[in-house]
Amino acid sequence: MEVAGDDGFAGDGKQTASKWGNQSRSYQLLPTFLGDLTGQVYPSPSLPLIPQISSLAWYTTVIPLMIVLSITAVKDAVDDLGRHQNDKKVNNRSVLLLANGRMEEDKWMNVQVGDIIKLKNNQPVTADILLLSSSEPYSLTYIETAELDGETNLKVKQGISVTSNLGDDLELLSAFDGEVRCDLPNNKLDKFTGILTYKSGNYVLDQDKLLLRGCTIRNTDWCCGLVVYTGPDTKLMQNSGKCTWKRTHIDHLMNVLVLWSEKVDFSYNKLADPNFSFYDKTLVEAVKKEDRWAHLFFLSLSLCHTVMSEEKVEGELVYQAQSPDEGALVTAARNFGFVFHSRTSETITVVEMGVTRVYQLLAILDFSNVRKRMTVIIRTPEDRLMLFCKGADTIICELLHSSCRALSDVTMEHLDEFATEGLRTLMVAYRELDDAFFQTWRQKHSEASLCLEDREHKLSVVYEEIEKDLMLLGATAVEDKLQDGVPETIITLNKAKIKLWALTGDKQETAVNVAYSCNIFENKMDGVFVVEGKNYEEVWKELRSARAKMKPESLLESDPVNIYLTRNREMPFVIPEEVPNGNYGLVINGYSLACVIEGNLELELLRVACMCKGVICCRTTPLQKAQVVELVKKYKKVVTLAIGDGANDVNMIKVAHIGVAISGLEGMQAMLNSDFAFSQFRYLQRLLLIHGRWSYNRMCKFLSYFFYKNFAFTLVHFWYAFFNGFSAQTVYDTWFITFYNLVYTSLPVLGLSLFDQDVDEKWILCFPELYETGQHNLYFNKKKFMRCLLHGIYTSFILFFVPMGTLHNSERSDGKDIADFQSFSLVVQTSLMWVVTLQVWPVVAGVRGLGVARNILNQPQIWLSIILSTALCVIPATGYRFLKPLFFPLSVDKVFDRIHHCMKHPVPPPMPTKLKQESPRRSAYAFSHIQGFGALITSGKTMKPRPI
């Protein structure tokens, strides 16, 4: 087998895609921890290590440095080991590889381009492979693409017709001698073009023939394929970013500076799903009493769908649905006694209350984003023609018979209640058909299906002829199944002035619906802009139109932002904040996003998006998610956080300043590449608002303390230099210098870093505005650094000259002179420790100063000097911290006042209520459903005949 890129085949036989074959690596050959250590050592001062210019012993710097770096090295080495073990586990997965005329079990990392491999049901796809054959008719293969686009609904791939007859016959597969010429490796998940030369013929290849690494085989016993891309050349790996060393803004600044009810029992139905829960007995009783309308309602749900069933073990049905809505509704019907059992291209088998009935499937009027409904026409075992239709309530209402008006009004009231809970609603209706009318309609439908021009419109007209005068059966409401607390969490984060953008692989309608459900979008918005242009010009016009509505003056040349961007176009710059004239949202799809990135429209998109309350990027690839994050990082002075739960989110998790993973059903890749991981989205508010804020406060206090104590410690030598002839002689004992940061001053800052909580967590969640301090770097910045420097200069001045004045010409009580260097050094050291730690350490003078301490610490003038130095250093700083909030308060200081008021005058907590959407209803049906699947079912290609 031969596989070549666009530049032609470079030789005979197999070609490996890269020197690593099909191996996966999330680590470098040089361990990550060595790179991290290099980054940490680089800004460290090295001058004290040069004996010719340093008056200090080498160990005063080396010992503390080696201890700190050793701890860091151990931590990073453990992380590296975890990555290595995970990669080893993936690379050593087994796969059936065709070799020497038989299928042999081999490791993933040994798979090469040109190999033929065999995959089984529920097995992940090893590499990007060209589908040759499968156990299903017409070489169809069902896959799940959760790791690629986050969608768990079923998708269908179909092999090449000329290779379908290969099956899993080892002799035929071994004799396969086709040649594939295709694209060079790229990151386009939805694009693949190639040509298969086989048996003297050329066959066109597209993405529908390619199984991508990251997919999982579902509902298919086996499939065989030709390996096209391996290892880093696969589209999944092409969409993966590099691991980067993430650093905070403070790190960069440092470098610059240095309901309960009884559950319904479904035991009467042996085929019920044991995981299904229902709490309303009224409907169950109606079904048991054989209520005609209840039976018709559930019969419609069991017939009107495109779900595939699988029964590996008798009585245990597994449904594979094109959309979550489909699966939920068919499962509901199953538990109420109307079990969809199996289907062929012409029949649907349903077990109704224990009785097996076979319905003849005459037509499927497929779903589309325009129709927003689906219809099936069936013939019952009693030879009755019936039409069942389900779809968006706003659409079905227009198709109902006039006699249903009263029932429709009541149903719409119920749907309004469902909508306030954020549920997705649809209506179910039916109609009995006359046989003569149906035969006439069927002829029209056949003619419209064969039209070469304007086929979609003609089919739509034909569909409308039969989808009318429907009788309403009922309505359903499907929950998007958001995790607990998601809407409330997003509201809290918005109060903290954190903007949320959703980057998803879902279809536009699904993404928008979820955005409303979780409060990224609000119904009281002044508008939601949809960017869906197919080329540069269309996208540019849509973005300009959105900006014209949000801020008309932003289109003028005199606009300050336009002037700023014009002047700074050639250099790195930050887009200033712009304030819109209302509350808006933005939706953009992946195709339009590609036009933005490739057409140099990034600034136009970013200006529009940053003025919106919420942004939805739908149908995006993993690479596009990362590109959006990079775009924000490049042009906005903000901190980005990416949160995801699947392998398709890994890229943006790596790129963002902070990567967070939610452990879910889509594997461990996101967790392994994240900085933080937890099980519920709602924990994000605790991570950011509580622990994030506490951590920021502690870090700022630590840095302020660190710089201050070292300025005070070091600058004493500046004053001393005027008295020692600038000889570089040190004031302190050598061992005191060694242990000053490592031991003497470490415990106070360690306690501060572990236990400091300036505000209780309940008040932080009540007042998310407290998070503003970190967003604007209010507690540590260049201004704060200069304040630490000035404070350190003042302290060093006091620490040097007060002891100097005290000891000058001073005598002991017995008349002996105490104005010697070691006595002076001891007093300065002791005063320094009092000032920076507010306590005297027993070994404050160092090993060689014990005798000196006994001689001078019993003199009153020495203690007077120490107390005076401490008072002169501590009192001004304490006064500043007390007076500053009174005369120069920050916004957070005002929040503290509100907290203090609440603590003095507590109010009873509000009664917990469920968050509701006060909104007009947004109808939505099966938005992740794929158009055209109905035609695939009726063609007979999706299934093998099954015994009834």
Q: CA nearest 234: which of 16, 417, 526?
A: 16
Q: So what's the pLDDT on residue 350?
A: 94
Q: Any idea which residue has 């999944």 for tokens?
A: 236
| pLDDT-derived band at 29, boundaries 50, 70, 90 | very low
Q: So what's the pLDDT on residue 612?
A: 94
| pLDDT-derived band at 482, boundaries 50, 70, 90 | confident
What is the mean pLDDT of the segment spanning 556-567?
Answer: 80
Q: Which string of DSSP letters, residue by residue, matches 461-526?
A: HHHHHHS-SBEEEEEEEE---PPTTHHHHHHHHHHTT--EEEE-SS-HHHHHHHHHHTTSS-TT-S
> Over the chain, what is the mean pLDDT?
80
Cβ neighbors of 518 (< 8 A, separation 6 or more) are: 482, 486, 487, 490
What is the mean pLDDT of the segment spanning 684-711?
Answer: 88
CB 36 within 8 A of CB 248: no
- Each residue of 903-938: pLDDT tens digit? 777 766 555 455 555 444 445 444 445 565 666 666
Q: So what's the pLDDT on residue 96?
A: 92
Tell me the three-class secondary structure of 115-162, residue by residue.
Answer: CEEEEECCCECCCEEEEEEECCHHHEEEEEEHHHHCEEEEEEEECCHH
CB 732 within 8 A of CB 825: yes
| pLDDT-derived band at 245, boundaries 50, 70, 90 | low
| pLDDT-derived band at 43, boundaries 50, 70, 90 | very low
What is the mean pLDDT of the segment spanning 455-469?
Answer: 90
Helices (H), 14-58: 32-41
Cβ neighbors of 207 (< 8 A, separation 6 or more) are: 190, 191, 192
- Each residue of 279-306: pLDDT tens digit? 667 778 888 888 899 999 999 999 998 8
Q: So what's the pLDDT on residue 772?
A: 87
- Each residue of 322-362: pLDDT tens digit? 777 788 899 889 988 899 998 888 899 999 988 999 999 99
DSSP assigned state of 215: B
**Other C-beta atoms lying within 10 Å of the C-beta of residue 201:** 9
Tell me the range of 110-119, 549-558, 663-672, 834-843 where mean pLDDT is highest: 110-119
State how far the Cα of 343 lies from the Cα of 946, in Å rounded to an integer.
8
State how far the Cα of 398 lies from the Cα of 387, in Å rounded to an integer.
16
- Each residue of 135-191: pLDDT tens digit? 888 888 888 887 777 666 778 888 888 898 898 889 899 999 899 999 899 888 878
Buried b (16+ CB within 10 A) or exposed e, 823-858: bbbbbbbbbbbbbbbeeebeebbbeebeebbebbbe
CB 617 within 8 A of CB 556: no
- Each residue of 360-400: pLDDT tens digit? 999 999 887 778 889 999 999 999 999 999 988 888 999 99
Q: So what's the pLDDT on residue 7?
A: 38
Q: Any idea which residue has 């139905």 for tokens?
A: 269
DSSP lists the bridge partners of residue 468 as none
Tell me the three-class secondary structure of 156-210, residue by residue.
Answer: EEECCHHHHHHCCCHHHHHCCCCEEEECCCCCCCCCCCEEEEECCEEEEECHHHE
Look at strands 614-618 and 500-503 and give their pairing.
parallel
**What sign results for the dihedral spanned by CA atoms 42, 48, 51, 54?**
positive
| pLDDT-derived band at 18, boundaries 50, 70, 90 | very low
DSSP lists the bridge partners of residue 349 as 342, 358
Q: So what's the pLDDT on residue 503?
A: 92
Q: Is the predicted pLDDT of residue 19 greater than 50, yes or no? A: no
What is the mean pLDDT of the segment spanning 740-746?
Answer: 79
Q: Is the predicted pLDDT of residue 560 greater than 90, yes or no? A: no
Q: CA nearest 728: which of 737, 738, 718?
A: 718
- The pair of structure tokens assigned to 888 is 């120069």
- The pair of structure tokens assigned to 54 is 């340093």
CB 114 within 8 A of CB 2: yes
Which of 90-99, 183-192, 245-254 has the lowest average pLDDT?
Answer: 245-254
- The pair of structure tokens assigned to 32 is 């990550």
Q: Any idea which residue has 């690629």 for tokens?
A: 148
Q: So what's the pLDDT on residue 444?
A: 92
- The pair of structure tokens assigned to 22 is 């099909």
- The pair of structure tokens assigned to 816 is 């002996």
| pLDDT-derived band at 225, boundaries 50, 70, 90 | very high
Residue type, 28: Q
Length of the chain: 948
Q: Is the predicted pLDDT of residue 411 greater than 80, yes or no? A: yes
Q: Which residue has the higher pLDDT, 938 or 473?
A: 473
What's the first-to-final CA gap in the chain, in angstroms?
Answer: 42
**Other C-beta atoms lying within 10 Å of the C-beta of residue 390:** 29
Q: So what's the pLDDT on residue 250?
A: 61
Q: Is the predicted pLDDT of residue 202 greater than 50, yes or no? A: yes
What is the mean pLDDT of the segment spanning 491-510?
Answer: 87
Q: Is the predicted pLDDT of residue 939 greater than 80, yes or no? A: no
Cβ neighbors of 323 (< 8 A, separation 6 or more) are: 153, 926, 927, 928, 929
